[in-house]
Structures are given as structure tokens and as C-alpha cells.
């Protein structure tokens, strides 16, 4: 799931929700809400979060697609 992947990427870089929110020009609750699934990110927000985390949006989409394919294979088997 996107929320899990973005949280993992943030934590792996040692960035707090507050620090990420500051980079995005948003309140800390913005980060908290999308990480908890309380709110969804639109495409522009997703790209901005990726860039703030020094991640490539296309790479995260590839990871999500790969993870989904693995889940599909498990569910079929």
C-alpha cells in the first residue's frame, strides 16, 4: 500500500513527520493523516512527498506494482 511505502521511506531516511511536513509547507497532521489512511494523496501531493523524501515517483510506482503482482500471485495460488 502507498501509505505503508511512504512511511517506510520516510523512516528509513530518519525524517520525522514534522520535518517532512515542514518541507512540504503543510501541517504535521497532513503527513499523519495520509500515513494512517485517513486521507488520500492526489497525484501532485504524491509527487511532492516523493521529492521531499528524495525519491523518484516512478520508482515508487514500480515498487507498488511489483508488490501488487506478488499479492495477486499469492491470492491465485
Count CA atoms closer than 13 A to 31's CA, side-chain side: 25
CA distance 72 to 22: 37
CA distance 53 to 75: 32
Which residue range is the domain that position 49 belongs to? 2-76
Model confidence at 73, pLDDT cuts 50, 70, 90, reads: confident
pLDDT digits (tens, 9 = 90+) for 16-53: 999 999 999 999 999 999 999 999 999 999 999 999 99
Nearest alpha-carbon partner for 16 in 28, 26, 4, 5: 28
**Mean pLDDT score across all residues of the chain:** 94
Q: Is the pLDDT of residue 63 over 80?
A: yes
Q: Is the pLDDT of residue 12 over 90?
A: yes
Evaluate the CA torsion angle 69, 41, 30, 6 in order and state its sign.
Answer: positive
Number of domains in the chain: 1
Supply the CATH number for residue 33's domain: 1.10.260.40
Give the global pTM.
0.86
Amino acid at each position: 500500500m502507498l501509505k505503508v511505502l511512504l512511511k517506510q521511506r520516510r523512516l528509513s531516511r530518519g525524517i520525522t513527520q514534522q520535518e517532512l511536513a515542514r518541507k512540504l509547507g503543510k501541517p504535521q497532521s497532513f503527513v499523519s493523516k495520509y500515513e494512517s489512511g485517513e486521507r488520500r494523496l492526489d497525484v501532485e501531493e504524491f509527487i511532492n512527498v516523493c521529492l521531499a523524501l528524495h525519491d523518484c515517483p516512478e520508482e515508487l510506482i514500480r515498487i507498488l506494482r511489483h508488490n501488487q503482482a506478488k499479492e495477486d500471485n499469492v491470492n491465485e495460488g
